[in-house]
Structure 1
Amino acid sequence: MIEGFHDKQDLKIFENRLKEKHELFFLIWKVGVNLALRVSDVLKITLNDCNKFLEKKEYWSIDKKTKKRNAVKLNDNTLQAFKRALELRNNSKVSKENLYLFVGQGNRVSNTLSHVSRQAVDKYFKEAVDDENLNISIGTHTMRKTWGRLAYNKGIRLEVIMKRLNHSSQATTLLYLGITDKEIDDVVADLNI
C-alpha cells in the first residue's frame, strides 16, 4: 500500500535526492504535497493557470476525481515551486503550442502537446526513494498522504484534513494517515489511566 512520509527527516532526504535527480519532478512533488493534490490535478496545470495562481496567490480547480471545487491560498514553498517551474518551462525546447506547465525536457517531447505522464512521476519518485534506501512504499499518491500525515502530526483536526483532501468519510482519511498498530500501542501505554 502506498504510504505518506511520517517524519520530516526522511522527507527532506527524499526531496533533496529528487531535486538532484530531476528538478522538474521535485517541483511536481512540491506543488502536489503542499496543495494535497492528486498527481492528475498537478499535471493538468497549464501555463495560464500557473500565472493566475501566482497573480492571485491562490490555487483553484475542479477536482478531477470528485468534481468538487478545490481552492486554497498558496504558501511560500508552492509560490517558489510555481515560479521555478515557469522558468524551466520558458527555457525549454517544448513547442509554444503546448499549454502545460509540467512537460518533459528531452528532444523527443519538443513537438508533443501533452504533459509528463503519471508513470514518469511515479518512476522518479521511486528512484529517489531507492537511491536513498528509504523505507517507504512510495507512489504518486504519497503527495496527498504525506500532506495529511504531517498535518495530523502537527495536531490539525481530522475534520480540517478531511475537508482539504475532499474526503466525504473519516474512514478514508484515517486510511490516508497510515496510523500503525505500534502508534496505538504507544498511546495506550502512555495513557495508562
Structure 2
Amino acid sequence: MNYVQPIRDPELITDIKKYLRETNERNYILFVLGINTGLRISDILKLRVKDVRGTHISMRETKTGKQKRILINPTLKNELKGYIEGKDGDEYLIKSRQGYNKPISREMAYKLLNQAAKVFGLEEIGTHTMRKTFGYHHYLKYKNIALLMDIFNHSSERITLRYIGVNQDTMDNTLSRFSL
C-alpha cells in the first residue's frame, strides 16, 4: 500500500472543489464530505441520504466498530442541502450508476480522486487523502492534537502527528535548512 499525503495548500483544495463541482456533483460531495468530517472512505460510502439530514452524522465505524457522532458543519450542511433535495432517505449518498441503489466501490472512489489529482499534478493521493487533509488543517487551526487523536480514534498523539503529515513537514523544514 502506498503512503498518501494530505492536501496542504488551501488554494489547491479550493481549485479541486471547483473542478469537481463542475465535472460531477456526486464526486464533489464525496470530496467535500471527506475533507469536512475526517471519515474513512468505508464509512462515507455506507452513508445514506437520511444520515445527513440532521445536525450530526451518527454511525458505527466500519474499522473500529466504535460509535461515532460527527457534527455537520454549516459549510457541509449548505453543500448537502441541494444535493439531497428530493432524494429518498434510504438512497446511498455516494450512489453508483451501476445497479439499483448501491454505493460506489472503494476502488471507484480511489479512481475518481486520482483523476482529479492528475489534473492538478498531485502525487501520493488516495482515498485517505481526504481524511488526512481534514486532520492536517484541523491541527493547523486548533493545535489540539489530543482532540484530533480522539476524532481519529488513534492510540497516541505521535501516531496522529505522523498520520496527518505534520512530522513530515517538520522534517522537511529542518532538512531544508541543514547542511554540512
With the shorter chain as reference, the TM-score category is 0.7 to 0.9
Residue aligning to 1:48: 50
Unaligned runs of 5+ in 1: 91-95
Residue aligning to 1:20: 22
TM-score by length of 2: 0.85
- One-letter amino acid of the counterpart of residue 104, structure 2: V
Residue aligning to 1:146: 133
CA distance in structure 1 between the aligned counterparts of 2:156 and 2:140, rounded to whole angstroms: 20
Change (3 A) 1:2 1:48: same
CA distance in structure 2 between the aligned counterparts of 1:7 and 1:184, rounded to whole angstroms: 20
Residues 1:124 and 2:122 aligned together:
no
Residues 1:80 and 2:82 aligned together:
no
How many angstroms does 1:17 deviate by? 1.6
- Structure 1 or 2, whichever has the larger Rg, is 1
Residue aligning to 2:172: 182
Alignment root-mean-square deviation, CA? 2.3
TM-score by length of 1: 0.79
CA distance in structure 2 between the aligned counterparts of 1:47 and 1:17, rounded to whole angstroms: 24
Aligned pair count reads 173
Unaligned runs of 5+ in 2: none
CA distance in structure 1 between the aligned counterparts of 2:35 and 2:89, rounded to whole angstroms: 28
CA distance in structure 1 between the aligned counterparts of 2:70 and 2:120, rounded to whole angstroms: 32
Change (3 A) 1:177 1:183: farther
- One-letter amino acid of the counterpart of residue 73, structure 1: L
Change (3 A) 1:30 1:74: same
CA distance in structure 2 between the aligned counterparts of 1:168 and 1:20, rounded to whole angstroms: 39
CA distance in structure 2 between the aligned counterparts of 1:97 and 1:82, rounded to whole angstroms: 13
Change (3 A) 1:64 1:172: same
